[in-house]
């Protein structure tokens, strides 16, 4: 499985999973259809699945046009997003599985994704986690707007407690998990992160490195979960330095105060 990152709109990423042997593809959160259709044509593959993480327009805006171009495509989304995702046919809950590709009897060529229910950004948000098929390769996490490189999504429909629960679920994945978050927000996120975690030396260096990468227009997505655990304040609500920074020793309150500061940053 090859993953192609397609930049669209101001700062969105669409992700196209491609199997060149089977000549099929699945798309994650198609904000727009035209760039996806162009890449499908370039790769000469058929779209068989649309994996939506949540209902926001910059994640589902291309659904209808893609369905028109590929009438047999299956559209997946969270069960609690029923009626909010255009063309949705499959209603997923925590623990469900989705499959990309079909190699009967060949375990290493099947990509089975695990569905994680991660409310907070929205009430119905889900993620798709494709575990590694071999020990020396990373798993792939498509997490929409829940966790970003250096940050997390705003709480539009959820609560801090829900988001802490969702982040707890995500940070239990292996450290070498690649995080395919849906926006190029990393530089801004790290500029904020350093204000609440100023003595974190790895964060300091990461900010320097990302500043240089973005100066050269190099994408910062995907990121690795291990890096996020060490430098992303929204995964570190139970770390003493972060709790001291916002004057709280309660995990949810610490998270909420950090998120509140970021909202005003």
Contact at 8 Å (CB) between 124 and 156?
no
Q: Which pLDDT belongs to residue 101?
A: 67
Query: What's the pLDDT tens digit per position in 92-144?
Result: 999 999 988 655 444 445 678 999 999 999 999 999 999 987 777 899 999 99
Q: Which pLDDT belongs to residue 110?
A: 62
- Beta pairing partners, 74: 49
- Domain locations in the chain? 2-263
CA atoms of 69 and 55, how far apart (whole Å): 21
Q: Which pLDDT belongs to residue 14?
A: 98
Q: Which pLDDT belongs to residue 202?
A: 98
Query: H or E stretch including 53?
Result: none
Q: Which pLDDT belongs to residue 100?
A: 81
* Residues contacting residue 160 through CB under 8 Å, at least 6 positions apart: 120, 252, 253, 255, 256, 259
Strands 126-130 and 111-117, bridge-based pairing: antiparallel
For 27-38, b where at least 16 C-beta lie within 10 A, e where not — what string? bbbbbbbebbbe
Q: Which pLDDT belongs to residue 137?
A: 84
Point out the residues that are catalytic.
Answer: 54, 56, 58-59, 121, 145, 183
Give the CATH superfamily of 2-263: Ribonuclease Z/Hydroxyacylglutathione hydrolase-like (3.60.15.10)
| Omega before 222 within 30 of 0, i.e. cis | yes
Contact at 8 Å (CB) between 206 and 231?
yes
pTM to 2 decimal places: 0.94
Query: What's the pLDDT tens digit per position in 159-173?
Result: 999 999 999 999 999
Q: Which pLDDT belongs to residue 260?
A: 97
Q: Which pLDDT belongs to residue 105?
A: 47
pLDDT along the chain (265 residues), means of 10: 94 96 94 98 96 98 98 97 97 94 53 94 97 85 98 97 97 96 97 97 98 97 98 96 95 97 96
């Amino acid at each position: 499985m090859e993953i192609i990152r397609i930049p669209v709109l101001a700062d969105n990423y669409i992700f196209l999973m491609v199997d060149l042997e089977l000549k099929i593809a699945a798309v994650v959160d198609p904000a727009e259809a035209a760039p996806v259709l162009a890449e499908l044509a370039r790769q000469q593959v058929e779209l068989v699945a649309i994996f939506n993480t949540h209902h926001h327009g910059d994640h589902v805006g291309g659904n209808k046009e893609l369905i028109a171009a590929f009438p047999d495509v299956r559209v997946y989304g969270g069960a609690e997003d029923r009626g909010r995702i255009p063309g949705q046919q499959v209603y997923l809950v925590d623990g469900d599985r989705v499959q990309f590709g079909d190699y009967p009897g060949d375990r290493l060529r099947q990509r089975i994704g695990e569905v994680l229910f991660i409310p907070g950004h929205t009430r119905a948000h889900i993620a798709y986690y494709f575990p590694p098929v071999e020990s020396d390769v990373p798993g792939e996490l498509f997490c929409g707007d829940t966790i970003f490189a250096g940050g997390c999504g705003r709480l539009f429909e959820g609560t801090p407690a829900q988001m802490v629960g969702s982040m707890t679920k995500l940070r239990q994945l292996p450290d070498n998990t690649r995080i395919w978050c849906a926006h190029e927000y990393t530089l801004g996120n790290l500029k904020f992160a350093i204000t609440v975690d100023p003595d974190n030396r790895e964060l300091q260096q990461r900010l320097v490195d990302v500043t240089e990468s973005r100066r050269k227009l190099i994408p910062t997505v995907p990121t690795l979960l291990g890096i996020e655990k060490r430098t992303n304040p929204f995964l570190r609500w139970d770390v003493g330095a972060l709790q001291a920074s916002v004057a709280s020793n309660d995990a949810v309150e610490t998270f909420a105060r950090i998120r509140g500061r970021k909202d005003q940053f």
